[in-house]
Amino acid sequence: MTPPVALLAATVLAVALVLVLRWLARPSPRPRRRDPGPNWIAVDGSNVMYWDAANPRIETVRAVTDDLRRRGFVPVVWFDANAGHLTLGRWAGPDRLALKLGLPPAQVHVVGRGTQADPAIIAGAEAMGAHIVTNDRYRDWQAADPTLQLAGVLVSGGVREGRVRLEFPR
C-alpha cells in the first residue's frame, strides 16, 4: 500500500473502532442478563408495602412476590431497616420477613439502620441484570446510574383489593 492509502485505511479503521466502542458502551434499554440462570427481579419492598393501602402491609409485598413467581420470576426483596416496625410492629430481619413472604431468607435483604435501601436495590438489580419493581423513580440516583431513566428498567404497579397490577415493558 502506498502511504496515503495506508493512512486512509488506518483512519477508517480507527473511526470504525470508535463507533463500535460507543455502540458497546451505550446504555441498554433493558438490563443485560449476566448469566442464563434464574429470571431474577428486584423488588423495592419498602415501596411496594404501600401499594394497597395508606398503611404499609407485608401482605401487599407477599401478593406482589407471589404474582412475580407465577410469572416465572425469582424475586429478591430489599427493605429499609424499619420495615418490620412498620408491618409487624417490631424490628424484623431477613429471616422473619422471608417467612412472611414465603421466600428463602437469601432472597430478602434488610439494610442497616440509617442506611437507605435504594443504593442496595439498584446495585443488586444491576448485579443480577434484573428489572426493579417499584413506583419510586430513583431521581436521586439517576445521575450515578443513567440506565434508571430507560424505559422498562423500573416496573411500576399497584395492588387493589388483592389484585396485582404490574406494568412491564412491552
Per-residue model confidence (pLDDT) at position 1? 57
Q: Residue written as cell 438489580?
A: 125
Q: Across the beta sheet with 108-110, what order do the strands follow?
A: 108-110, 74-79, 40-44, 132-133, 154-160, 163-167
Considering the domain boundaries, does residue 142 fall inside one?
yes
Taking the C-alpha atoms of residue 118 and residue 111, their distance in angstroms, rounded to an integer, is 10
Per-residue model confidence (pLDDT) at position 7? 59
Considering the domain boundaries, does residue 148 fall inside one?
yes
Considering the domain boundaries, does residue 85 fall inside one?
yes
Per-residue model confidence (pLDDT) at position 162? 82
Q: What is the pLDDT along the chain (170 residues), one digit of tens a residue?
A: 566 666 555 555 544 444 444 545 555 444 444 455 789 999 999 999 999 988 999 999 999 999 999 999 999 999 999 999 999 999 999 999 999 999 999 999 999 999 988 889 988 998 999 999 999 877 665 666 667 666 678 899 999 988 999 998 77
Considering the domain boundaries, does residue 23 fall inside one?
no
Considering the domain boundaries, does residue 3 fall inside one?
no
Q: Total domain count for the chain?
A: 1
Q: What is the CATH number of the domain that holds 53?
A: 3.40.50.11980
Considering the domain boundaries, does residue 24 fall inside one?
no
Per-residue model confidence (pLDDT) at position 145? 65
Domain containing residue 161: 40-167
Considering the domain boundaries, does residue 9 fall inside one?
no
Considering the domain boundaries, does residue 113 fall inside one?
yes
Per-residue model confidence (pLDDT) at position 41? 96
Q: Is 67 helix (H, G, I), strand (E, B) or coil?
A: helix
